[in-house]
Structure 1
Amino acid sequence: MDFEQNKVIDEGRQGEATVVESAVPAANGKRLYVESYGCQMNFSDSEVVASIMTNEGYITTRNIEEADVVLINTCSIRENAETRVRNRLTEFKKRKSDQPELVVGILGCMAERLKKSLLEEEQLVDLVAGPDAYRDLPNLVEEVGSGQRAVNVLLSREETYADISPVRMDTGGVSAFVTIMRGCDNMCSFCVVPFTRGRERSRDPQTIVQECRDLFEKGYREVTLLGQNVDSYRWNLTSKGEVKEEGKPTTNFAQLMEMVALVSPDLRVRFSTSHPKDMTDDVLEVMAKYENICEYIHLPVQSGNTEVLARMNRGYSREWYLERIEAIRRIVPDCAISTDIITGFCGETDEEHQDTVNLMKEVQYEFAYMFKYSERPKTLAERRFKDDVPEDVKGKRLNEIIDLQLASSLFWHKQQIGKVKKVLVEGKSKRSDEEWCGRDGRNSMVIFPKGAFEKGQYILVKITDCTSATLKGEVVSVCEPAHNY
């Protein structure tokens, strides 16, 4: 979740622009259009925003032509992401010449970082709201209606939006994001998240379990527990593992994941993202204990060289990371592992890059999110290091690891041929109306012939073919609902 993706060996939603739609009747006659960019956390936040505005009488729409309020939830991780959003805001500014009463607002990480420029210098937006200010949106819109430009980018040490039931993007959907914590205490030198989303705070576990239970009752069959670093989730615990308030229950991430798994054996549980320095064996042991916790871990390495990792302030060495990989393979033997990799970080030599290549060959990731380093303002890397790797060298190194990852993904997919996989049906394939698709527990996309299936059903598929991106197979049978634990 650290970066907007440059190249993804997956068919996930990260990096796409998505709009939120709700079927709740409008009480004030006004319509809201929400568009999201960047990581999964932004998509989840947009659902919270839609809920807050719906409670104020707005109805969300997919048709921007009929919108009274347009809100863009932004990503500030890479320069390309900001450029895309600026271009979009320029389009909206032109629209305002024909519809002067239209309210345009920007939310999220980019909002917090560029509030003055967007509001005053470029005048691209009417309001700015940071990630912890979404409850104030109705007031901000009202301020704009009175002829003012409105801004609230205050960060909070308490806000988790735990009491807000998100308006889900995909009515009748199968998978949902559930935010379990906000902010980040890791000060990775390349990352702006601690500055745009504030310090870590964890959400009450009972509200998380209840949200997952509600989703299951509404027909969802998969939840992804979200946080910048889910392994550091702790309720009523300090960062040192000490109890904050005596007499009150405590919960760490392993315990929370078990609580969610117990909602129903038919509710798949995923999580994102883990930090190598914080992933403990108790998390892996809970994964191994419950069949409905997916055997898939996203464990960003960023670099395979210990010196580069130190410059990145990642808090672990190459050896530590490989020990965590060994623990995963030992405790959850069939677990798929994906990663993030940055090429061309400040001062990276050919030898240091080769260490990353060698680590990739040793681990053999199933998927990878791969990027060229992009210097971001106000980060430790900008203040301390020189962005001195030429762009053509960054690109060459990126292409090398992309080619390596494509081969690795294909290798793992070939290992699945002949196996029968339990697949959660997601719906029609993007490429053909005669094919349907879904994911297995290892997060591989599986394509199979159209049949009498319904979204949200579990089926058994025998894998017959593959590419580096997908598995293909024939349906063996439909799974019966499981009994509760």
Structure 2
Amino acid sequence: MIELQHTAKTHDESRQGEALDMLPTGKSTGRKLYIESYGCQMNFSDSEIVASILLDNGFETTKDYKEADVVFINTCSIRENAEQRVRNRLKEFESAKAKNPGMVVGVLGCMAERLKSKFLEEEKLVDVVVGPDAYRDLPNLIEKVDDGSKAVNVLLSREETYADISPVRLNSNGISAFISIMRGCDNMCSFCVVPFTRGRERSRDCYSVVKEAQHLFNAGYREVTLLGQNVDSYKYKKTVTEGETPEPTVNFAQLLAMVAEVSPELRVRFSTSHPKDITDEVLHTMARYENICKYIHLPVQSGSSRVLELMNRTYDREWYMDRVNAIRRIIPTCGISTDVITGFCTETEDEHQETLSMMEYVKYDFAYMFAYSERPGTLAAKRYDDDVPEEVKKRRLTEVVNKQQEHSLYRLQNFVGEVQKVLIEGFSKRSDQDYCGRNDQNTMVVFPVDERFKPGQYVHVLAERCTSATLIGRIVE
């Protein structure tokens, strides 16, 4: 199971998952695939697409990279720490390859796109490098490596959405699944490499999204998370041939409603929203459907309008606060989480205090928090000096983390004494005597096992107490 954390997070957010054993769907080649993912939800979703493509070409998956014939690591370029972890992991794979010279080692995803041939030529750690829009080419690239060549394809596409590929659900609990609704990003935030590694924004066919959600529900899944770098800018318009009547454009609010209508028993979540694009229409749609979870991840990055302008976020402090006010007005029970960057270029102490005051204003349920790390190739790296000393960045990060821990506890304490609707996801990490699942606001809830209920079912849990990250309670009628 891929565990996505919902508590206060500091500056290393990378997560790692391994493929489950699975039989090939095409004619078996007898070859085994191991795939490991780091970073955001989109990377895990992409790994499921890669697995689907290779299973169709006769591969099986394995949980042990030492017995694999093809080893892939799906990478993240958002943080320097994540890149270093990938390099360290590749060195471990190199040791395994020394014992199995026929093993193919490859890098997928954002690091592959950003570093391209460096992996092949300078570091010589891998045989194949594949960007996020070239996964259909993997069988051909593996064949080139088998013939003794190195292989690379990092071409970006303006059309690829993988809409026709049914992802293989790796590490699945059989209850929750990701559905990618769009790829790429058109927001040129100055600190971010995503527009360069994932290309221009394009939205997936809304009908294929609904079809995938229906398929998952029929297979027993009870929660889907719609994924995009900026889901609020989702926009799909069917291409029509001459003589056909044009169809209206489908926006994100309308897509949300379409997925929610698959079944009232299917919970719908989404990530990530952008403050400049989230509309009242989306909020009213969330309020209208009981099965659309009342939770929004709304990255603020900074509470200072001047720093936000340097970040090219295209909104200011007042705009962000207006969007928070709209959420509180239209969906009073909505949970809100965020991203915060401390020590961005030229950030002053007063501007750091503005971030802390924004946190006080919103009182986020949880947050992902980072000290600024300059990424090569970004607009910030080209335009601005990374001039905030590391010790200042870290001290400001500590203050932000401490503030968020206060607010996370405050939000959880407000749930104590209330009944939460929870989708049982499985056993608690600490004990098979307890179940765990999340409430509408994405908070983890732990409660004793009741033999009348199984994972995948909804229960009502009275929250009796809390830690700084978890509600603890018992099932009530």
TM-score bin, normalised by smaller chain = over 0.9
Matched, 1:373 2:379: no
Partner of 1:165 in structure 2?
A: 166
**1:432, CA displacement in angstroms?**
1.6
Which 10-residue stretch deviates more, 429-438 or 308-317? 429-438
Quick one: which amino acid aligns to residue 228 of structure 2? G
Partner of 1:473 in structure 2?
A: 473
| Partner Cα distance (1:259, 1:393) in 2 | 47
Matched, 1:351 2:350: yes
Partner of 1:99 in structure 2?
A: 100
**1:66, CA displacement in angstroms?**
1.6
**1:117, CA displacement in angstroms?**
1.3
Q: Give the secondary-structure state (helix, strand or coil) at the position aligned to 1:341.
A: strand
Tell me the alpha carbon deviations over residues 83-137 of structure 1, each in whole angstroms, 9 at most, x when there is no partner: 0000011111122111100000000000011122100111100000000000000
Q: Give the secondary-structure state (helix, strand or coil) at the position aligned to 2:336.
A: strand
**Contact 2:337–2:367, Cα closer than 8 Å, also in 1:** yes
Matched, 1:57 2:55: no
| Partner Cα distance (1:73, 1:247) in 2 | 39
Quick one: which amino acid aligns to residue 402 of structure 1? V
| Partner Cα distance (2:416, 2:172) in 1 | 34
**1:65, CA displacement in angstroms?**
2.1
**Contact 1:22–1:167, Cα closer than 8 Å, also in 2:** no
1:262-277 correspondence to structure 2 within 5 Å:
262-277=261-276
| Partner Cα distance (1:127, 1:408) in 2 | 45
Tell me the alpha carbon deviations over residues 198-239 of structure 1, each in whole angstroms, 9 at most, x when there is no partner: 00000000000000000001111000000000000000299x
| Partner Cα distance (1:184, 1:192) in 2 | 10
1:232-381 correspondence to structure 2 within 5 Å:
232-236=233-237, 247-381=246-380
Partner of 1:420 in structure 2?
A: 419
1:140-289 correspondence to structure 2 within 5 Å:
140-236=141-237, 247-289=246-288
Matched, 1:443 2:436: no
Quick one: which amino acid aligns to residue 199 of structure 2? G
| Partner Cα distance (1:205, 1:315) in 2 | 27
Q: Give the secondary-structure state (helix, strand or coil) at the position aligned to 1:358.
A: helix
Quick one: which amino acid aligns to residue 465 of structure 2? D
**Contact 1:6–1:371, Cα closer than 8 Å, also in 2:** no
Q: Give the secondary-structure state (helix, strand or coil) at the position aligned to 1:170.
A: coil
| Partner Cα distance (1:341, 1:14) in 2 | 13
Count of matched residue pairs: 466
Q: TM-score, with normalisation over the residues of structure 1? A: 0.94
Quick one: which amino acid aligns to residue 288 of structure 1? A
**Contact 1:287–1:293, Cα closer than 8 Å, also in 2:** yes
**Contact 1:236–1:251, Cα closer than 8 Å, also in 2:** yes
**1:450, CA displacement in angstroms?**
1.8
**1:22, CA displacement in angstroms?**
4.8
| Partner Cα distance (1:331, 1:171) in 2 | 34
1:373-392 correspondence to structure 2 within 5 Å:
373-392=372-391
| Partner Cα distance (2:298, 2:117) in 1 | 36
Distance 1:246 1:119, change over 3 A: farther
**Contact 2:238–2:247, Cα closer than 8 Å, also in 1:** no
**Contact 2:6–2:443, Cα closer than 8 Å, also in 1:** no
| Partner Cα distance (2:9, 2:288) in 1 | 27
How much identity, in percent, do the aligned residues show? 63
| Partner Cα distance (1:314, 1:287) in 2 | 25
Distance 1:166 1:37, change over 3 A: same
| Partner Cα distance (1:131, 1:150) in 2 | 15
Structure 2 residue runs of 5 or longer lacking an equivalent are none
Q: Give the secondary-structure state (helix, strand or coil) at the position aligned to 2:257.
A: helix
**Contact 2:173–2:425, Cα closer than 8 Å, also in 1:** no
**Contact 2:9–2:369, Cα closer than 8 Å, also in 1:** no
| Partner Cα distance (2:475, 2:17) in 1 | 31
**Contact 2:117–2:152, Cα closer than 8 Å, also in 1:** no
| Partner Cα distance (1:437, 1:185) in 2 | 37
Quick one: which amino acid aligns to residue 466 of structure 2? C
Q: Give the secondary-structure state (helix, strand or coil) at the position aligned to 1:23.
A: coil
RMSD of aligned alpha carbons: 1.8
| Partner Cα distance (2:211, 2:232) in 1 | 20
Tell me the alpha carbon deviations over residues 447-484 of structure 1, each in whole angstroms, 9 at most, x when there is no partner: 0012212111000000000011000001113xxxxxxx
Q: Give the secondary-structure state (helix, strand or coil) at the position aligned to 1:324.
A: helix
Which 10-residue stretch deviates more, 62-71 or 288-297? 62-71
Structure 1 residue runs of 5 or longer lacking an equivalent are 239-244, 478-485
**1:23, CA displacement in angstroms?**
2.4
Quick one: which amino acid aligns to residue 137 of structure 1? L
Quick one: which amino acid aligns to residue 462 of structure 2? K
| Partner Cα distance (2:419, 2:472) in 1 | 11
Tell me the alpha carbon deviations over residues 352-373 of structure 1, each in whole angstroms, 9 at most, x when there is no partner: 0000000100110001000000
Distance 1:14 1:454, change over 3 A: farther
**1:172, CA displacement in angstroms?**
4.8
Distance 1:55 1:6, change over 3 A: closer
**1:249, CA displacement in angstroms?**
3.4
**1:75, CA displacement in angstroms?**
0.3
Q: Give the secondary-structure state (helix, strand or coil) at the position aligned to 1:151.
A: strand
Partner of 2:14 in structure 1?
A: 15
| Partner Cα distance (2:145, 2:275) in 1 | 44
**Contact 1:20–1:61, Cα closer than 8 Å, also in 2:** yes
